[in-house]
Structure 1
Amino acid sequence: MEPEDEPERGPLRRCIVTRESAARETMLRFVVAPDRTLVFDLAAKLPGRGLWLSARADVLERALTRGGFIKAARGPIHISPDLRLQIVDGLKGRIRDHLGFARRAGQAVTGFQAVREWLQAGRAALLVEAAGGSASERERLLGRRDVPVVTPLVAEELGGIFGRAHAVHVALAPGALAGRVEQDALRLAGFVTT
């Protein structure tokens, strides 16, 4: 650790594969059900001893191929063949839910003009862009503003949240929902390429 780095705050968890410690919000938690089935604990609240994994596809692959889950669970377990898909679908679902909550609470807007107005007024804490969107249009929208940008969903998925066929730009107001969307989008980024 370099002297200028800030010390970690909050509970840290150790990845069963990389052995690196990180904040629990940046990792994925799994538990073993009573029937010895491995369960992805999306909200990290299920009872039982958590098996923590860095939120990256290569780490998941190593855990699956090298028996990382079996060693951490201290015995044989059943692992679903579509575990990666469960992780991606679960994280996308949470992001859609949080964006929906933000929309209903008046903490999110969509559309180029509305998002630009929020950015100019300093009301945007997070910019959610459609995956595969134009980088040059994003730069034109952002200008020199230092607002975090995530690209977790395609335009049709974003649009569905706002009752549109598609949406490319979404701005979120500061608050817990923006933080949760950003955390889940960063975890999802380890599994999908945009």
Structure 2
Amino acid sequence: MGREKTVTRMCALTREELPASALIRFAVSPDGVIAPDVDAKAPGRGVWVKGDKAAVEEAVKRKAFAKSLKTNVEVPADLALMVKARLEQRLVGALGLARKAGALATGAAKVAGLLESGKVAALITASDAAPDGRRKMLQSVRRGFDTPPPHIESLSSTQLGLALGLENVIHAALTPGAAANSAIERANRLDRYIATDREEDGTI
């Protein structure tokens, strides 16, 4: 069997041909307003922009959507933030499904136990976690794994709590399986999107 061909699309801002997975699709609503279509399922012609927040902000500024569609469209000024919110919602949904599937543990003690056993597909730390608690978890990872698992820290304790139907969640972990893989893919996409923000505020 031959390799599966990578689906590519052209970025409306940079004119680069990139894998569709590295881009964000935007669709036009019936009333002529541009909206994020992060699952790339909306009908009609779409506009693709490189999947990072700075690129979307620049596309809004340069009127790249109207140029690509060759027609006037309304573009919300906060479009880049709308994309971030949609990507966060996708991750929140995946984490909720992982918990229902029994593939997610919460609480420092349970997470520490999983780290010791080596049965962790991804470590999750709230973005507003105390530095000391975060450091201790990462030390456990370094002790227990030759290759550290992914570290998801793009959601706040409030967002994690809402995702999991619990009070504020600071520490959690995903165990290996399809549910974890889905959550990790969505977390990676969100991380790529907000990477420039993190560089600017020094959190990388």
Does the TM-score normalized on the shorter chain lie above 0.5? yes
- Residue 150 of structure 1 is aligned with which of 148, 152, 164? 152
In structure 2, the CA distance between the partners of 1:166 and 1:28, relative to structure 1 (3 Å rule), is same
Q: 2:81 aligns with which of 62, 76, 85?
A: 85
Provide the aligned C-alpha RMSD in A. 2.3
Aligned to 1:99: 95
| 2:101/2:179 contact within 8 Å kept | no
Task: Provide the secondary structure at the position in 2 that maps to 1:43.
Answer: coil
CA distance in 2, matches of 1:110, 1:34: 42
For the 8 Å contact 1:26–1:186, the answer to whether it is kept is no
- Residues 144-163 of structure 1: CA deviation (Å, up to 9, x unaligned): 42101121211122123334
Q: Distance in 2 between matches of 1:65 and 1:161?
A: 33
The alpha-carbon distance between structure 1 residues 174 and 72, as it changes in their structure 2 partners (threshold 3 A), is farther
Contact 2:34–2:75, Cα closer than 8 Å, also in 1: yes
Aligned match of 1:42: 38
Against the structure 1 CA distance between its residues 19 and 116, is the aligned structure 2 distance closer, same or farther, given a 3 Å change threshold? Answer: farther
Question: Unpaired runs of 5+ in structure 2?
Answer: none
Structure 1 residue 74, shift from structure 2 partner: 1.4
Larger helix proportion of the pair: 2
Q: 1:174 to 1:64 in 2, by over 3 A?
A: same
Q: 2:26 matched to 1:27?
A: no
Q: Does structure 2 conserve the Cα–Cα contact (< 8 Å) formed by 1:16 and 1:51?
A: yes
Shift of 1:8: 9.1
Contact kept in structure 1, 2:56 and 2:79, CA below 8 Å: no
Q: Which amino acid aligns with 2:57?
A: E
Does the CA-based 8 Å contact 1:56-1:187 persist in structure 2?
A: no
How much has 1:9 moved relative to structure 2? Answer: 5.6
Give the secondary structure class of the aligned counterpart of 1:143. helix
1:137 aligns with 2:136: yes
139, 147, 161: which is aligned to 2:163?
Answer: 161
> Which structure 1 residue ranges, 4+ long, deviate > 6 Å from structure 2?
none
Q: Identify unmatched segments of 5+ residues in structure 1.
A: 1-6
TM-score between both structures, scaled by the size of structure 2: 0.80
Q: Does 1:179 align with 2:181?
A: yes
Aligned-residue offset at 1:71: 1.0
The TM-score with structure 1 as length reference comes to: 0.84
Matches of 1:89 and 1:142 in 2, distance apart?
29
The number of residues matched between the two structures is 188
